[in-house]
Amino acid sequence: MKLLKKEKLTHDVYELVFYCDKNLETLPWQFITFILPSWLRRAYSISNKDWNNLEFIVKRLEDWRWWSRELCDIEIWTLVESIWPVWHFILRENDNNKLFVWTWTWFAPLYFQVKKALESWLKSKMLFIFWVRGFEDVFYEKQLNFLKNKYTNFDFELFLSREDHTRTSRWYVTDYLKIGNIWDFDEFYICWSTVMVECSKQKIEEAWFKKEQIYFEKY
């Protein structure tokens, strides 16, 4: 694949768009494994596919996870080897109302799922809730507003834990996961770290939902 576009969405989050010259079939929950110039292999979820262009949302970390910097620092037009998309974190195509829960760049597979479901005119109610620390960390708000304005069955809500803002809620998405807020939903899709996935699942189950109604991906 060849890097076509690199856009800095926040101080440490990048949108990377790669062109693939193969007729690549991908589904809106899969990931690509990049073979980086150092020959390390790292998987990143696809956030969107537009013809032969694959989009990714990548957080450039300054800690020991140096591969995120290697990927984000690749120059435009660079060729990067990759392994074909895999995984089975599947969105159910039914009329059940759906709640999506994520934080940071775990946004990618859920955004792809929601976008493709709406474009396929899936009519179920869909709510997208997500958390970052401060408003400077928010990205893709414009894209989410576009979907909200185009499709009446979609809405989203942002949560910030370290500041108040007129366009967001305060604290964490797990604070939202209580019976009064989520009783209208039939299915839950969570993409997060292991600890936070388990915390979210517990909150949903405490609101009298079954484990079979909760779908998740841990990173």
Query: Using 50, 70 and 90 to split pLDDT, how confident is the model at 154?
Result: very high
Q: pLDDT of 14-59, one tens digit each?
A: 999 999 987 778 888 889 999 999 999 999 999 999 989 999 999 9
> 107 and 6 in one domain?
no
Residue 92 lies in a domain: no
Domain stop point among 60, 86, 112: 86
In a domain, 189, yes or no: yes
Per-residue pLDDT reduced to its tens digit, 100-143? 998 878 888 899 999 999 999 889 999 999 888 888 999 999 99
Q: How far is the C-alpha of 111 from the C-alpha of 114, rounded, in Å?
A: 5
Which pLDDT score, from 0 to 100, does residue 77 have? 96
Answer with the one of 86, 118, 144 that is the final residue of a domain. Answer: 86
If you count them, how many residues does the chain have?
219
HEC profile of the chain? CEEEEEEECCCCEEEEEEECCCCCCCCCCCEEEEECCCCCEEEEEEEEEECCEEEEEEECCCCCCHHHHHHHCCCCCCECEEEEEECCCCCCCCCCCEEEEEEHHHHHHHHHHHHHHHHCCCCCCEEEEEEECCHHHCCCHHHHHHHHHHCCCEEEEEEECCCCCCCCEECCHHHCCCHHHHCCCCEEEEEECHHHHHHHHHHHHHCCCCHHHEEEEEC
Q: Are residues 10 and 78 in the same domain?
A: yes
User: For the segment 60-97, what is each residue's pLDDT rounded down to a tens digit?
Assistant: 999 999 999 999 999 999 999 998 887 767 788 899 99
pLDDT for position 93: 84
| Residue listed under structure tokens 């949903």 | 204
For residues 122 and 160, membership in a common domain is answered with yes
Task: Say yes or no: 108 and 209 in one domain.
Answer: yes
According to DSSP, residue 79 is labeled B
The answer on 202 and 103 residing in a single domain is: yes
115 and 173: one domain? yes
pLDDT the model gives residue 208: 92
Query: Distance between CA atoms of 68 and 64, rounded to whole angstroms?
Result: 10
Query: Are 40 and 125 found together in one domain?
Result: no
Q: What is the pTM of this model?
A: 0.89
User: Does residue 91 sit within a domain?
Assistant: no
Last residue of a domain, one of 61, 86, 111: 86
For residues 107 and 189, is the Cβ–Cβ distance under 8 A?
no
Give a yes or no: residue 107 inside a domain.
Answer: yes
Q: At 159, which CATH number?
A: 3.40.50.80
Stretch (H or E) spanning 158: strand 154-160
Assess if residue 93 is contained within a domain: no
Cα 29 to Cα 121: distance, rounded to the nearest angstrom = 18
Answer yes or no: do 33 and 141 share one domain: no
* Number of domains into which the chain is organized: 2
Domain identity same for 179 and 201: yes
Domain with 48 in it: what CATH number?
2.40.30.10
Q: How many CB atoms lie within 10 A of CB 17?
A: 19
Domain that holds residue 171: 98-218
pLDDT at 207: 93
Residues 131, 182 within the same domain: yes
Looking at residue 24, its pLDDT comes to 79
Confidence of residue 171 (pLDDT cuts 50, 70, 90): confident
Is it the case that residue 165 has pLDDT exceeding 80?
no
**pLDDT tens digit string along 133-151?**
888 999 999 999 999 999 9
